[in-house]
Chains A and B, each alone.
Chain A
Amino acid sequence: MTAHARRWKSTSGETAGDELISRPLLPGEVKAALRLALQSENYDGAFLLARLASSDRAGICAALSDIGELKAKVHIALAIDLATLERLDGSLPVTEGVGLVLDGVNVATPLSAFILDSIEALRFEAAFTSSASRNLRIDAALRAMLSLAHDLALSTFASEAVPSAYLLSPCPVFDYVLQEDAAPIVIRGPKIQSKVDSDLKTSRRSN
């Protein structure tokens, strides 16, 4: 079995993390999807991000509990949409090594969503960051959101690298941006790896 991931690189250049490339996962699917990546020996990211389908409090609690059972050594970040966040209604059970990322942040996202203590990061919508490079008012909104995120110590992800021809200098700075030019990372499960190894050995013997 293999899975694919894309790499998010820290703009400070210190760390990187990966995101599983998949359709939004249902809460019941998260554990199996993450297990493959976590068992892979070639995994070296600081965190692993997975996108959840729209859900509710029970779904998120179930996903957190399932992930907790994995006892992952890397931090797991679950990206959820605003509708899911609004359904959480209060604090979630503390699960060591797991956090929530508010996904799809755009100009219409209420700032009140940022101050909920359930989330640890924000991922900005690509169309939003792109239009901020061309429109002063949207740029102002983005900068205000980033300032609030920094005050609250929330990590920030930009779905696309900020265009080089940005309207105002300095450009808004996000904590993590996609490595646009990088090919997707192929994550192989341990069983497949050993099969590949054994195939290689067989091939060497026959040569």
Chain B
Amino acid sequence: MTKFYEARKRDGAARLGRLLIGNATVETPLLLNVEAFHSGTAPVLPAKAVARAKNTSKLLIYDAWELPAEWKTARGVVVLPKTHPLASDVRNLKADLYVVGYASRLLTSSRRLVDEIIRLKESIPPDAALYVPAVATPANVAFLIYIGVDVVDDAVAVIKGYEDVYLTDYGELRLFELKNFPCCCEICTSLNPAELRKLNKKERAELLTKHNSLSLKAEVEKVRERIRSEMLREYVESRVRTSPFLTAALRILDEKEEYLERRTPVARRSPLLANTMESLRRVEVKRFAARVVERYTPPRRKVLLLLPCSARKPYSQSQSHRKFISAIFEFGGHIHEVIITSPLGVVPRELEAAYPAAFYDVPVTGYWDAEERFWVGSCVEAYLRKNLIERGLYEHVVVHLSGGALEIFKGVAEKLGLEAFYTCGDGEEETAKRALERLRNCISELCAEKKPDKDAKVNMIKAMADYQFGNGVGNLLLG
């Protein structure tokens, strides 16, 4: 347990937190200003720089071998890499703020960046803050915070200023190639690139550094705001687009399921926007698919009806689903409805109001790319194997799908050797009159007698309880 840091809100592995320094609290994610280090005005300072003064109004960062025994105010410790002769086991170091020593190594590869930060995060207490010095730029800071870094500084922004490099949230630009400043900060509105170039090196560097730091500050503010509105993942997916290094890092991070699963809230109050290839690999998406197979038990019904998704959520509120429901309503007690969709895969009707099923959006063009087909196909296959083949819960499969979703189902059916009734004609939309007619006829033939679905509400609550808390919880609660 650390004493002076508290994480108060999270989105993915990112946190909004509070660090208690002296009598003041500072909010994380925190951007430190290196010039303030130098002048001694930063809230956080290396213990070496504060000459023996018992300065309790600062958070002091110690070398591991200098860490005092008593721990009365917030403190930090430097974690040295294994290659350093003075490195010690981080598990033995007790502090509120852990500082990554020689952090420049993190930029040698995307995998290293992800692996090392995760390794550190796993070896420090979950309620301690992590500071990665001299790495943050406006382009990468969203990702750094997303992976779990709480404190950064503007050292790179300053050094880049002295290298005549102009930083933006989409990457680096050379001052000598700029015609206009694509920024509205106080520096960029006070002169143009040509005027800046005319200044001597020192003046030029100071102004450029100021812009770079402001640009980083603006980005950190945006990220904080995105955490507050629980939309950081969507923001990070757009931010990493500007660099292959960062895009690779996000993809590698998404492989670390255990790390993210433990840190990603089960529900957010914002929609899940699946706009990119990486969206398919989001932990919320994988978690939903896994829980549908592992935790959810469908009711025993004569007919499994596969339906397309709708833009409006929950699906049953949409025009298209109202049409499907009215077509089969009288036979509801014989039917189990399951929706095929990207990126969630398979959504049983009872779970349509769960997060993220009721809260996602995805660009619909009618085109399903190979990644989507593969992923959704694997979800459909897993569902059918377990509930149709192994458990034998259904007698018939009725497929009211067209386009890409239909092709995906057909691929799975062929693989599993399944027979099914197809109720959409070639090139016919699911809501077409003739398709709905065909659906009604098919269902009434298969079910023969009418039987409304009386258990719908109870089943929904049980399914939600199982989904949220684990297999069998629904029955324990509702009998």
- Is the A/B pair a real complex? no
Q: Residues of A at under 8 Å CB distance from B?
A: none
Chain B residues proximal to chain A, CB less than 8 Å: none
